[in-house]
Amino acid sequence: MAKTTPDNKDKEKFKGISPKKIIYPIIIGLGVVGYLFWNEFNIDALKTLNYGIQTIFWLIVAFIFMGFRDFGYMIRLRVLTEKKFNWRQCFRVIMLWEFTSAVTPSAIGGTSIAILYVNKEGMSLGQSSAVVMATSFLDELYFILMFPLLILLVDSQLLFLTVEKGFSFRNEFLLFATIGYSLKLLYTIALSYGLFYNPRGLKWLILQIFRLPIIRRWRYDAKNAGTEIVESSKELVKKPFRFWLKAFGATFFSWTSRYWVVNVLLLAFFAVNDHFLIFARQLVMWIMMLVSPTPGGSGFAEYIFTRYLSDFIPVETALVGSIIIALALLWRLISYYPYLIIGAIILPKWINDKFRKTEPEEIGQPID
């Protein structure tokens, strides 16, 4: 029997994220958009849009904001690795990480694979775990802080499109957002407790939870996750406040840039009055997408976009549905599908390079 080496075990992890799987989120997303087109689309609606040089300009700006978003992630990765990764390595890890997120359900993510991406770029397993766990913590912290702030600053009737004052769980947007936020809050509390206070206690709790019959088959993965938290804690508890401030600043820049994509996308065709409300709805929409079981939220994202942002389209009521469907497709073409394509190009070569090499690539060196 052939012996299974660590590299072979690591390589097996990529079976679930083969570049061939980009077809699934594409089919799901385009299938939902196609269904909406079939039921609601009216080609005459597109004739009402204002086309011109401003359209091209704002579409370019939308791509620039996505670039800012990735640049913010790269800055954060440089901070978290204490500049041991050069810019090329940061770009490669971010693109591979985004590809993994794009082909796996929103609620699952890809922590173990992300740790492997960082590890194979030249960091120890403990350091890699710390970088990925810190990234996860900072992302969730952004949502945990921003969502209540938006609740305070924006009228709930405007934010959740409800006719009732206050909270009503009969509203699907509020229901999805509350479930998504609750999951994020619980995850952040547990992660914070494990990373900064009692990592071994959290590992024990995770293992106890995964004794339940319905989820017992994932107990081995849960054990690995607990080990990653313990290793991460050793690295992260030593970091100074300035380290966390810089990392969170990059996180804030990255996510905020992403949410402005929709604002400038609307500016390409219409006059926009309430940019802050659009931004707030974008953040809430991203929290809703956590409940999606589809890869990268495909299908669900397009559907929520058409329902949740249609009131910003200043055209006749009969034409709104057609225009918002077209905008939903354009939004995903800018903010989602590029990661599928870039990741599918980079991943095979990366796997071939990293698992074929006998010596690790030297990190932090200038690129010719």
**Model confidence band, residue 1 (pLDDT cutoffs 50, 70, 90):** very low
Question: 83-128, pLDDT tens digit by residue?
Answer: 999 999 999 999 988 888 777 664 444 566 788 888 888 888 778 8
Question: What's the pLDDT at 110?
Answer: 59
**DSSP-derived secondary structure for 43-61:** GGGGGGS--SHHHHHHHHH
State which amino acid sits at residue 355. F
Longest dimension (CA), the chain: 70
Tally of helices (H runs) and strands (E runs) in the chain: 15, 0
| 263-272 per-position pLDDT tens digit | 999 898 888 8
Cβ atoms 17, 104 nearer than 8 A: yes
Count, residues in the chain: 368
Lowest mean pLDDT among 54-68, 84-98, 241-255, 347-361: 347-361
- For position 57, what pLDDT does the model report? 94
Q: What is the pLDDT of residue 35?
A: 60
pTM: 0.79
User: Which tokens go with 289?
Assistant: 């997408």
What would the pLDDT profile of 158-214 be if each residue is shown by its tens digit?
888 765 555 566 677 788 888 888 988 988 898 888 888 888 887 787 777 777 776
Q: Indicate the domain borders of the chain.
A: 16-356
Could you give the 3-state DSSP secondary structure of residue 105? strand
Q: Which residue has the tokens 């991943």?
A: 347
At residue 355, the 3 state secondary structure works out as: helix
Q: Give the residue from 30, 35, 36, 70 showing the smallest Cα distance to 294.
A: 30
Cα Rg of the chain, angstroms: 22
Whether the predicted pLDDT of 4 surpasses 50: no
Amino acid in position 339 = Y
Residue 28: pLDDT over 80:
no
Please state which of the ranges 70-79, 209-218, 245-254 shows the lowest mean pLDDT. Answer: 209-218
Spatial contact of 223 and 202, defined as CB atoms under 8 Å apart: no
Cβ contacts of 330 within 8 Å, gap of 6 or more: 265
- Tell me the C-alpha distance between 90 and 84, whole Å: 10
Q: What is the 3-state secondary structure (H, E, C) of 251-293?
A: HHHHHHHHHHHHHHHHHCCCCCCCHHHHHHHHHHHHHHHHHCC
**Per-residue pLDDT tens digits for 30-66:** 566 566 555 555 566 666 677 788 889 999 999 999 9
Listing DSSP states for 317-347 in one string gives: HHHHHHHHHHHHHHHHHHHTHHHHHHHHHHH
Cα end-to-end distance, the chain, whole Å: 44
**In the block, residue with structure tokens 């009503």:** 168
Coil, strand, or helix at residue 238?
A: coil
